[in-house]
């Protein structure tokens, strides 16, 4: 998640506290100058922030307006919706009929990762955005921000690993049909899921040394006040190559490489599905040339079911691929550019789009429920059996009880007449 790379708003709040007794308006230009000459901000005193690149021009202005005015509310709404939908995903996918398929175990693990990410993001938004003007930059607040930086990156990387596992699982199931029961067993599925949850702890190791809790002492009304915030570590500031390597690893191994693998596998799967559909059409054409006495109605029905299932699977693959690329590819390319240019572009440009990348990642984690309902008939049937039938049953029972209670009254009126 992009918020893991810091937020310049904390620096502005710190400066506002220092200059609280003076009625001074903190502009972006003045803020950059103060940060450049402030010895307490070690992460930026070696960067010429006054040479700020355009970073998108008008789109950057729109991103800043969205971050300040709309992101807290949009993020909370998306997170609440995602928590509810992922809970429904877990309930449906863990039913007895659904749990028999190993691929549904992967989807369940993906729902857990996305839901935990959204549960953690809500208090972050409340602390960092809603109460940003009132927070006191305490040590506990800094610890929470540092925890948020690491846990969001770990959970988001877990979602990426599970998405890759999902694509590879489908590839193995179609490419090696004869060995499907061995390669795609429940035991291997459980091992893969555990790997997807533990591997991100190692993949995110470079980030652990990138940030630290910084302590700043200021004098306010004759008293020394200690403020805390999350900032870049001295190692990264002094050795900028470490930051570049971190972004290269982040962009290549956690973003661009997964996108490339998913594209290749998805294209292969879609091509395989279209070949199978074309083969069925050829068989159907040959089948139509057979005399009617030999044809059976069941074969036509079975072929049409196979075709519809292939079309639904193809559309789902395209939807998952598009959603994944829209979310991860821009972040990967952006992080790769940061790795080339270094600290200056990170401080002055990358953080401007943090909220945009956050909302895209959150949105991708809550849209799966809609995809399942639209493109998975078994999911819709199970969901209907769990919720729809119960709601209709209660409603019909209530209507029946009302009919029973009102029937004697109608008879009494009829008798009196």
CA within 13 Å, CB half, 216: 25
pLDDT of residue 148: 92
Token pair, residue 249, equals 């690893």
pLDDT above 70 covers a percentage of the chain that reads 68
Q: Pick the residue with more confidence: 78 or 240?
A: 78
Length of the chain: 417
Residues 6+ apart with CB under 8 A from 381: none
Residues 6+ apart with CB under 8 A from 265: 167, 168, 170, 171
pTM of the model: 0.75
- Name the DSSP class of 52: -
The CA distances from residue 248 to 55, 73, 241, 243, 258, in Å, are 20, 32, 10, 9, 14
Contact (Cβ atoms closer than 8 angstroms) between residue 198 and residue 205: no
Tens-digit pLDDT profile for residues 122-150: 999 888 776 555 566 888 888 999 999 99
Residue 7 in 3-state DSSP? coil
- Taking the C-alpha atoms of residue 264 and residue 268, their distance in angstroms, rounded to an integer, is 6
Contact (Cβ atoms closer than 8 angstroms) between residue 128 and residue 187: no
Dihedral pair phi/psi, residue 214, rounded to 5°: -100, 135
What integer is the mean pLDDT of 368-381? Answer: 83
Contact (Cβ atoms closer than 8 angstroms) between residue 376 and residue 292: no
Report all structural domains of the chain as residue ranges with CATH numbers, in order of start: 2-388 (1.20.1070.10)
- Nearest alpha carbon to residue 184 among 197, 198, 165, 160: 165
Name the band, by pLDDT with cuts 50, 70 and 90, for residue 408: very low
pLDDT above 90 covers a percentage of the chain that reads 19
Q: Which residues pair with 229 in a beta bridge?
A: 214
């Amino acid at each position: 998640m992009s918020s893991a790379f810091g937020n310049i708003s904390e620096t502005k709040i710190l400066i506002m506290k220092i200059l609280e007794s003076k009625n001074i308006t903190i502009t972006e230009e003045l803020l950059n100058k103060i940060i450049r000459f402030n010895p307490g901000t070690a992460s930026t005193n070696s960067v010429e922030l006054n040479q700020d690149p355009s970073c998108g021009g008008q789109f950057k202005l729109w991103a800043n307006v969205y971050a300040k005015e709309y992101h807290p509310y949009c993020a909370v709404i998306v997170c609440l919706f995602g928590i509810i939908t992922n809970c429904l995903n877990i309930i449906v996918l863990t039913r007895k009929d659904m749990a028999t398929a190993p691929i549904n175990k992967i989807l369940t693990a993906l729902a857990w990762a996305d839901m935990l990410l959204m549960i953690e993001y809500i208090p972050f938004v409340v602390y960092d955005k809603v109460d940003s003007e009132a927070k006191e930059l305490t040590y506990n607040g800094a610890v929470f921000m540092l925890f948020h930086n690491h846990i969001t990156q770990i959970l988001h990387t877990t979602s990426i690993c599970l998405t890759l596992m999902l694509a590879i699982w489908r590839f193995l199931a179609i490419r090696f049909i004869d060995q499907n029961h061995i390669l795609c067993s429940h035991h291997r599925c459980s091992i893969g899921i555990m790997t997807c949850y533990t591997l991100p702890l190692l993949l995110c190791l470079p980030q652990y040394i990138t940030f630290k809790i910084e302590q700043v002492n200021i004098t306010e009304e004759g008293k020394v006040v200690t403020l805390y915030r999350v900032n870049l570590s001295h190692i990264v500031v002094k050795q900028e190559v470490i930051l570049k390597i971190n972004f290269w690893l982040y962009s290549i191994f956690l973003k661009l490489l997964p996108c490339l693998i998913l594209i290749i596998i998805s294209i292969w799967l879609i091509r395989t599905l279209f070949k199978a559909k074309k083969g069925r059409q050829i068989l159907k054409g040959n089948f139509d040339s057979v005399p009617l006495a030999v044809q059976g109605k069941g074969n036509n029905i079975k072929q049409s079911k196979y075709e519809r299932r292939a079309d639904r699977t193809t559309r789902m693959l395209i939807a998952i691929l598009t959603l994944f690329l829209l979310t991860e590819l821009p972040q990967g390319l952006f992080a790769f550019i940061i790795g080339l240019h270094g600290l200056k572009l990170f401080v002055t440009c990358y953080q401007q789009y943090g909220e945009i990348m956050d909302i895209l990642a959150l949105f991708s984690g809550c849209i799966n429920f809609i995809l399942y309902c639209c493109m998975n008939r078994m999911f819709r049937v199970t969901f209907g059996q769990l919720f729809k039938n119960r709601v209709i049953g209660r409603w019909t029972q209530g209507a029946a009880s009302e009919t029973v209670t009102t029937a004697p009254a109608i008879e009494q009126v009829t008798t009196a007449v």
